[in-house]
Amino acid sequence: MYLKFFTSKTFFILIIKAAFFLIFFIIIILKALELTTYHDNYELVPDISGFELNEAIKILGENNLRYEVVDSTKFNPKILPYAVIELFPVALSEVKKDRKIYLTLNPSGYRKISVPNIIQITLRNAESKLKAVGLQVGEITYINNIGKDMVLEIRYQGKAITSGSVIPKTSKIDLTLGNGKRW
């Protein structure tokens, strides 16, 4: 009895109706996806490198794009503070409407770092330690002291500082050294 149904004309008509309904349903879903995912509707990412944040946000809004600011440890003194250094996806890429663009901004200044302990070591060792942490040797002065080229004092912007003081990266540190002579 059941076998007769599977070989009957009614069964084949139901199968054909189900196939047409399935095809129709798939076409409707694909069209709806095209509309909601903006298929073949691309925006060009504008080149906003170097623009200040407020201006970059305005330009992205005009291009139907969203943004998110990513934390930055890179500092470029040639670019204004809070200006766009990098963006992802990169400029002139094709992206879909309403895509989020990730912006890396130039910080307001170099990050702060701790001055290493360079007191009572030679100038050569002090220079390499300072360079390793991103500091520069500024003015070198000598005073009478038996330790020739031995670091006796550290100065930053004319003021004596101690090891562990926190100053901006790439700052110049002035050193006072012994000249190898007794008083």
128-160 confidence digits (pLDDT tens): 999 998 899 999 999 998 889 899 999 999 899
Q: What angle do CA 92, 93, 94 make, to 5 degrees?
A: 120
Task: Check if the beta carbon of residue 120 is closer than 8 Å to that of residue 150.
Answer: yes
Q: Which residue has the higher pLDDT, 94 or 73?
A: 94
Residue owning tokens 């709806």: 32
Best-predicted range by mean pLDDT among 14-28, 63-77, 132-146? Answer: 14-28
- Nearest Cα neighbor of 83 from 44, 57, 110, 112 is 57
- Nearest Cα neighbor of 141 from 158, 125, 129, 128 is 158
CA distance 78 to 99: 29
Task: Check if the beta carbon of residue 59 is closer than 8 Å to that of residue 65.
Answer: no
Supply the pTM of this predicted model.
0.52
